[in-house]
Amino acid sequence: MVASEVRALLAGREGRPDQLIEALQDMQAHFRYLPEEGLRMAAETLGVPPIEVYRVASFYKAFSLTPRGRHQLTVCMGTACHVRGALRMVDVAQAELGIAAGETTQDGAFTLERVNCLGCCALGPVVVLDGEYHGHMNPAKLRTLIAETRAADANGGAPHAQD
């Protein structure tokens, strides 16, 4: 299963070490993390030693070596968001989800992340849920957002999050 999907993602990149990061990006987008099997196949196909693949995979922030949740909640920690109370958003999200930033809830529903800047500084504080930006955030709005996402999941799941 994983192998055939990875093969499709690596197609056209045979013997091209310079394509490693692009290939891992596609893999990350597809699986929401980098499965070990995928890393091994990337090493072989691109012609890069496995240790180098691991080095790159563990260096960049966009990559995760463990499965992520169905919903990705990202809190922007850019300077502009910081001076407008981004840390409070992290506090609220951590308390609501019962996990620390960087972790995934036990039921696999949410992964909570901090990101350095999303470039929507005029709208701070900003959080992103499954690729959708939410500006001018406050604790109450964030709690509602999380509750609504949970409710949608309970009613059969939000289609955009199941890709």
Q: Rule CB under 8 A: which residues touch other proteins?
A: 16-22, 24-25, 46, 48, 52, 55-56, 59-63, 77-80, 82-85, 87-88, 91-92, 94-96, 115-124, 126, 131, 133-135, 138-140
Residue closer to other proteins by CB (options 4, 119) is 119
The minimum distance between CB 12 and other proteins, in angstroms, equals 13
- Please, what is the minimum distance in Å from the beta carbon of residue 1 to other proteins? 25
Query: Which of 73, 4, 6 shows the shortest CA–CA distance to 35?
Result: 6
Taking the complex as a whole, the smallest distance from the CB of residue 122 to other proteins amounts, in Å, to 4
Q: What are phi and psi of 115, to 5 degrees?
A: -130, 150
Task: Single out the residue of 98, 96, 109 nearest to residue 67, CA to CA.
Answer: 109
In terms of CB distance, is 4 or 19 closer to other proteins? 19
CB of 13 to other proteins, least distance (A): 10
- DSSP for 57-94? HHHSTT--SSPPPSEEEEEE--HHHHHTTHHHHHHHHH
Shortest distance (Å) from residue 95 CB to other proteins? 4
